[in-house]
């Protein structure tokens, strides 16, 4: 029998493949009430994105520290459930994962904003989750030096000359688009780019002339352009502090916020629905760019252990030094501070919500109820 | 830069790092070999392990794997007519007929040799373009990218075979399937039938598997024979290598096509094999492509390995991934404490150069490893169809399910598979469907952006006009050339 070895080989390969499958099945059903230790347990960490993206990298970076600081040293297993711009995976976490304390989730801006606007595909309620740790991000808007020459006033007087290359008006682009709206700038948004990388290339080759990048990408790719005199930063998108005010981004202390620019130009503080909408989206998209959660219904002893683990984690010197790249140098939020931020970022007033929905409908022909 | 290149060579040749490269190569060959598993799956499997690794070591592992996937994926394409990954579909066209004639070894010898040469050319191209990468990449604006997708689509016409009309319909069908899911430019969902699964569209591995593998499986069951009709397996690896050497210009041409297509971000490198195949078909005289012409194996195999070198340029220097595989590679870079961007040319230049070397070495070693494996693995083509089908089914089902881990994948697999089967029965060409599918989104995206940004004035862009002329020449000139070469043949050149 010459064929035998091939069968054996294929059998081995098949088994190998089975092994490749995720450990989805093993994480779940071992709920044992009363057992309040993570000793020998496996926590399944749901990441609603494809492996390799920003949020996935964030989650994978966190896992060893989770395993180290959560009492009982549980195994933490990342599980990617991509699709629907993070909504598929978050829905699955909310509805199909047991609230046994062995399932945690990471969310990101793309799960926060649709939740806030009550997009119809959203089948989760962030209020039903307990936040464990939150991480901010930031963004900087920049333009071509020749356009910035006459100062920001000059930029605002331009009509039909500013082009912005974006991905989609419901993603992170929304914040930038709203910032133009607050400053009453006439910017033509060309949407449909594949990502922030291609949109940066569009800026470099002149297809667009006003652009933004998030903190890391800005530092890696745009600062060099600024030094070469091919780009000029205008403002940072800012952060929301505990009082709900817009403050300068700690990573870019020299860049003004749009509030400062507005005061300079118009001599008064920005106000009204646009302004509220802007601050709301900055909070939900940047100040709380990523949040890790556990079901609110999970055994409270487990929730306590997880929270305590987070406290240990942020005091870990090793974590502080290694997290520089991944967390873009921002401080994380835990405990009460996190709760306050979450409350004010996600508690959107009915008027603001309607205003954003209406804004998307009139400017981009989007019906939020159909997404 | 030569100095730092030599320095990087020593870094790569450090035994502790070489081990990782070989692990990467072995995983890459296996992932390529198994139909249904693509580079994306391989990368996601490795990602947890690169965390915290020294960049040189991690890169040796990841690049070692990426480099050889398109070497290993040749096995199922030639032996079974099932694409190992979506990058080796075109190899089937002539590789499978060759295997049926018992010349599998020859086809694989040629394929592996070409993969090696193509991969090395890709590595060299990566090295050479480093200084010019920035001006080159920023020279493509959306209108030009749109015309390039049109150029790709016109290849569908070339691959249509006897009936151009069937080819066009097949291509349009592909465009239609490609438009399922969220639209690229407006947040709008199309043909999703209110299911969340379809909002992300149909995934390429599933379509590629279904359209080629499903019909083959049915044929295997109904024909009850093994793939190869001849009782003896001719040992022909060397013959294949000689074939490749005889066609060195074709190898080189195809590799350059591969590098260029990989290099242009957003064009979807997954059609590179078809484009190289189509270009080969047009330019090789006296060919009988599609009926077991060794040159039909040489062209796509040279291109698909070369593509990786090209696609690493936008990935590493701009953070723009050209494919699912390179998208995950970007994540891997971050996990190792690196960031894609201009820094890869300055402070992290040695990492970039080590990637070049790894590409070159991995392609050479991967091809050699595959050549050693030819003998045992090619016996598969003698296994009776009905005995091999259960194994294949398991592999394909898991492969399809792997792509997004959703039951929808399996349903789509069966639906598209049936479509593929009907198309085979009716003798409709399937390659145009895949090209249409892959280029649907980029074509729409760049068309939309061009109009939004420039109105209609983009049509007067000189490069756009130039590309348009090429397309017209390709489509009409093809027919003329064919006639011309026929006259040639009759004139007694042979």
CATH classification of the domain holding A233: 3.40.190.10
Residues B169-225: tens digit of each pLDDT: 888 999 999 999 877 777 677 888 877 778 778 888 788 888 888 888 888 888 766
**Contact call for residues B217 and B374 (beta carbons, < 8 A):** no
The structural domains of chain B, with segments of one domain joined by +, span 2-490
A227 vs B: CB within 8 A: no
If asked whether residues A280 and A293 sit together in one domain, one would say no
In a domain, A184, yes or no: yes
DSSP 3-state of A310: helix
> Are A272 and A326 members of one domain?
no
Query: Do residues A274 and A169 share a domain?
Result: yes
In this structure, the answer to whether residues A180 and A222 fall within a common structural domain is yes
B385 to chain A, any CB pair closer than 8 A? The answer is no
Query: Tell me, what's the pLDDT at A14?
Result: 56
In a shared domain, residues A162 and A57:
no
List % helix, strand, coil for chain B (3-state, nearest 5).
80, 0, 20
Above 60 in pLDDT, residue B487? no
B26 inside 8 A of chain A by CB: no
Contacts A216 to B, Cβ<8 Å: 339
Token pair, residue B173, equals 């069908």
Helix axes B39-50, B15-33, angle to 10 degrees: 150
> For residue B166, what are the contacts with CB-CB under 8 A and spacing of at least 6?
B160, B427, B428, B429
Are the CB atoms for A234 and A273 separated by under 8 Å? no
Closest CA to B356 of B2, B9, B83: B9
- Find chain B residues with C-beta within 8 A of A200's C-beta: 318
Residue A279, Cβ density class (10 Å: 0-12 exposed, 13-18 middle, ≥19 buried): buried
Token pair, residue A202, equals: 């569009």
Instruction: Indicate yes or no: CB of A371 within 8 angstroms of CB of B141.
Output: no
Q: Quote the distance between the C-alpha of residue B41 and its chain's center.
A: 15
The closest of B60, B92, B72 to B300, measured between CA atoms, is B92
Q: What is the pLDDT of residues A297-356, one digit of tens each?
A: 898 889 988 998 898 888 888 888 888 777 888 888 988 889 888 888 888 889 999 999
The residues, any chain, with a CB within 8 Å of residue B410's CB and separated by 6 or more, are B397, B400, B401
CB-CB: which of B44, B314, B453 is closest to A51?
A: B44
Euclidean distance between CA atoms B313 and B235, whole angstroms: 39
Contact B449 A190 (CB under 8 A): yes
Domain of residue A167, residue span? 139-285
Does residue A359 fall inside a structural domain?
no
CA dist A39 → A105, A302, A347, B178 (Å): 20, 11, 37, 48
Q: Which tokens belong to A267?
A: 């001599």
Chain A closest-CA separation from residue B261 CA (Å) = 16
Side-chain half-sphere exposure of A131, counting CA atoms within 13 A: 27
Same domain, A143 and A273: yes
Point out the residue among A51, A325, A371 whose CB comes nearest to the CB of B337: A325
- pLDDT band at residue B51 under the 50/70/90 scheme: confident
A255 and A280 share a domain?
A: yes
Per-residue pLDDT at A40 exceeds 50:
yes
Element (H, E) at A292: strand A290-295
Interface ipTM above 0.85: no
Nearby residues of A341 by Cβ (< 8 Å), 6 or more positions away: A134, A240, A242, A283, A287, A288, A333
What is the tens place of the pLDDT at every residue in A161-179?
A: 899 999 888 888 999 999 9
Neighbouring residues of B354: CB distance < 8 A, sequence distance ≥ 6: B8, B11, B12, B56, B59, B60
Give percent above pLDDT 70 in chain B: 91
Look at A197 and B319 and tell me if their CB atoms are within 8 Å: yes
Q: Residue B139, Cβ neighbours under 10 Å: how many?
A: 11
- B122-155 per-position pLDDT tens digit: 999 999 888 887 787 788 888 988 998 888 888 7
The pLDDT assigned to B486 comes to: 54
Together in a domain, A269 and A322: no
For residue A23, pLDDT over 50 is answered with no
Choosing from A248, A263, A285, the residue where a domain stops is A285
The pLDDT assigned to A270 comes to: 93
Distance, C-alpha B174 to centroid of its chain: 17
Express as a percent the part of chain B with pLDDT over 90.
22
Are A192 and B37 within 8 A, CB to CB? Answer: no
Interface residue A329 vs chain B (CB under 8 A): no
Least confident of A194-203, B39-48, B222-231: B222-231
Note whether B171 and B278 are within 8 A (CB): no
Residues 172-191 of A with CB under 8 A from B: 188, 190-191
pLDDT at A89 exceeding the cut of 80 = yes
**Any A CB within 8 A of B395 CB:** yes
Total structural domains within chain A: 2
Q: What is the CATH number of the domain that holds A305?
A: 3.40.190.150
C-alpha distance from residue A161 to each of A164, A191, A226 (Å): 10, 16, 21
On whether any CB of chain B is under 8 Å from the CB of A221, the answer is yes
Given an 8 Å threshold on Cβ–Cβ distance, is A21 in contact with B402? Answer: yes
The pLDDT of A89-114, averaged and rounded, is 90
Q: Per the domain annotation, does A16 fall within a domain?
A: no
pLDDT of res. A290? 92
A189 within some domain: yes
Would the CB atoms of A6 and B43 count as touching at under 8 Å? no
Residue A317 in any domain: the answer is yes
Contact flag B453-A51 (C-beta cutoff 8 Å): no
Q: Are residues A243 and A280 in the same domain?
A: yes
A1 in a structural domain: no
pLDDT at position A24: 42
> How does DSSP classify residue A219?
I
Confirm if B294 and B308 have CB atoms less than 8 A apart.
no
Separation CA A227–CA B346 (nearest Å): 15
**Does A26 reside within a domain?**
no
Residue A19 pLDDT > 60: no
Say how many CA atoms lie within 13 Å of B74 toward its Cβ.
Answer: 41
pTM: 0.82
Across B403-418, average pLDDT: 85
| Residue range A45-49: mean pLDDT, rounded | 90
How many C-beta atoms lie closer than 10 Å to residue B493's C-beta? 10
CB contact under 8 A, A20 and B402: yes
Q: Does B337 touch chain A (CB under 8 A)?
A: yes
- What CA–CA distance (Å, rounded) separates B488 from B284? 13
Q: How many CA atoms lie within 13 A of A337 on its CB side?
A: 14
Token digits of residue A86:
């993070």
**Token digits for B464?**
């756009």
The residue of chain A nearest to residue B44, with distances taken between CA atoms, is A51
- Which of helix, strand or coil describes residue A165? strand
Residues 266-305, chain B: which have Cβ within 8 Å of A?
Answer: 266
Instruction: For residue A286, give both structure tokens.
Output: 């940047």
């Amino acid at each position: 029998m010459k064929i035998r070895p091939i069968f054996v080989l294929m059998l081995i390969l098949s088994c190998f493949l089975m092994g490749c499958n995720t450990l989805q099945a093993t994480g779940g059903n071992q709920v044992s009430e009363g057992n309040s230790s993570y000793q020998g347990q496996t926590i399944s960490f749901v990441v609603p994105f494809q492996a390799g993206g920003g949020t996935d990298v964030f989650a994978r970076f966190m896992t060893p520290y989770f395993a180290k600081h959560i009492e009982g040293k549980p195994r933490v297993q990342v599980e990617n459930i991509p699709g629907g711009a993070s909504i598929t995976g978050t829905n699955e976490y909310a509805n199909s994962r047991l609230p046994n304390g062995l399932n945690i989730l990471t969310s990101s801006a793309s799960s926060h904003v649709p939740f806030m606007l009550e997009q119809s595909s959203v089948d989760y309620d962030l209020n039903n989750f307990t936040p464990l740790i939150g991480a901010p991000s930031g963004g900087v808007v920049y333009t071509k030096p020749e356009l910035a020459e006459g100062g920001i006033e000059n930029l605002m007087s331009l009509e039909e000359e500013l082009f912005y290359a974006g991905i989609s008006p419901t993603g992170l682009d929304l914040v930038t688009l709203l910032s133009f709206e607050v400053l009453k700038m006439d910017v033509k948004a060309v949407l449909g780019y594949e990502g922030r990388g291609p949109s940066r290339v569009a800026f470099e080759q002149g297809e667009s002339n006003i652009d933004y990048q998030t903190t890391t990408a800005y530092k890696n790719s745009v600062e060099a352009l600024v030094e070469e005199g091919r780009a000029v930063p205008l403002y940072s998108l800012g952060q929301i502090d505990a009082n709900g005010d817009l403050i300068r981004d700690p990573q870019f202390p020299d860049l003004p916020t749009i509030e400062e620019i507005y005061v300079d130009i118009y001599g008064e503080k920005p106000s009204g629905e646009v302004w509220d909408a802007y601050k709301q989206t900055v909070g939900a998209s940047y100040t709380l760019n990523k949040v890790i959660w556990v079901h609110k219904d999970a055994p409270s002893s487990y929730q306590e252990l997880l929270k305590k683990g987070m406290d240990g984690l942020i005091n870990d010197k090793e974590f502080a030094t290694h997290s520089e790249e991944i967390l873009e140098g921002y401080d994380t939020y835990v405990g009460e501070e996190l709760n306050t931020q979450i409350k004010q970022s996600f508690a959107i007033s009915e008027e603001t919500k309607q205003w954003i929905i209406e804004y998307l409908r009139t400017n981009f022909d989007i019906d939020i109820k159909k997404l | 830069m030569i100095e730092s290149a030599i320095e990087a060579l020593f870094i790569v040749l450090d035994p502790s790092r070489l081990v990782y490269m070989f692990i990467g190569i072995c995983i890459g060959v296996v992932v390529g070999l198994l139909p249904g598993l693509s580079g994306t799956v391989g990368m996601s499997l490795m990602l947890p392990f690169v965390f915290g690794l020294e960049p040189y070591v991690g890169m040796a592992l990841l690049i070692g794997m990426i480099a050889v996937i398109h070497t290993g994926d040749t096995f199922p394409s030639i032996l079974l007519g099932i694409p190992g990954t979506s990058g080796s579909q075109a190899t089937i066209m002539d590789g499978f007929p060759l295997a049926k004639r018992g010349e599998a070894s020859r086809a694989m010898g040629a394929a592996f040799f070409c993969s090696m040469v193509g991969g090395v050319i890709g590595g060299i191209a990566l090295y050479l373009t480093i200084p010019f990468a920035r001006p080159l990449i920023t020279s493509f604006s959306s209108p030009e990218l749109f015309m390039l997708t049109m150029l790709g689509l016109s290849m569908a016409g070339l691959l249509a075979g006897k009936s151009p009309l069937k080819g066009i319909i097949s291509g349009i069908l592909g465009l239609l399937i490609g438009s399922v899911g969220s639209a690229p430019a407006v947040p709008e969902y199309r043909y999703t039938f209110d299911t969340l699964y379809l909002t992300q569209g149909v995934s390429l591995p599933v379509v590629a598997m279904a359209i080629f593998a499903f019909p083959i499986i049915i044929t295997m069951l109904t024909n009850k024979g093994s793939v190869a009709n001849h009782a003896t397996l001719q040992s022909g690896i060397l013959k294949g290598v000689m074939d490749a050497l005889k066609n060195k210009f074709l190898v080189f041409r195809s590799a350059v096509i591969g590098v260029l297509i990989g290099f242009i971000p957003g064009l979807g490198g997954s059609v590179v094999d078809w484009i190289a195949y189509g270009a080969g078909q047009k330019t090789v005289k006296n060919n009988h492509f599609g009926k077991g012409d060794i040159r039909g194996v040489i062209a796509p195999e040279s291109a698909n390995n070369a593509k990786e070198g090209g696609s690493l340029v936008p990935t590493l220097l701009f953070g723009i991934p050209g494919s699912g595989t390179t998208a995950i590679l970007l994540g891997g870079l971050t996990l190792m404490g690196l960031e894609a961007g201009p820094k890869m040319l300055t402070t992290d230049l040695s990492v970039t150069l080590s990637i070049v070397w790894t590409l070159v070495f991995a392609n050479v070693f991967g091809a050699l490893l595959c050549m050693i494996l030819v003998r045992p693995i090619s016996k598969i083509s003698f296994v009776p169809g009905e005995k091999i089908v259960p194994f294949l089914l398991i592999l394909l089902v898991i492969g399809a399910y792997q792509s997004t881990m959703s039951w929808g994948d399996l349903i789509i697999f069966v639906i598209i598979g049936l479509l593929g089967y009907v198309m085979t029965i009716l003798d409709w060409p399937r390659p145009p469907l895949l090209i249409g599918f892959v280029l649907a989104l980029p074509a729409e995206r760049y068309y939309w952006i061009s109009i939004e940004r420039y109105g209609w004035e983009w049509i007067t862009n000189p490069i756009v006009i130039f590309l348009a002329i090429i397309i017209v020449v390709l489509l009409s000139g093809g027919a003329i050339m064919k006639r011309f070469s026929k006259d040639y043949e009759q004139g007694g050149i042979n």
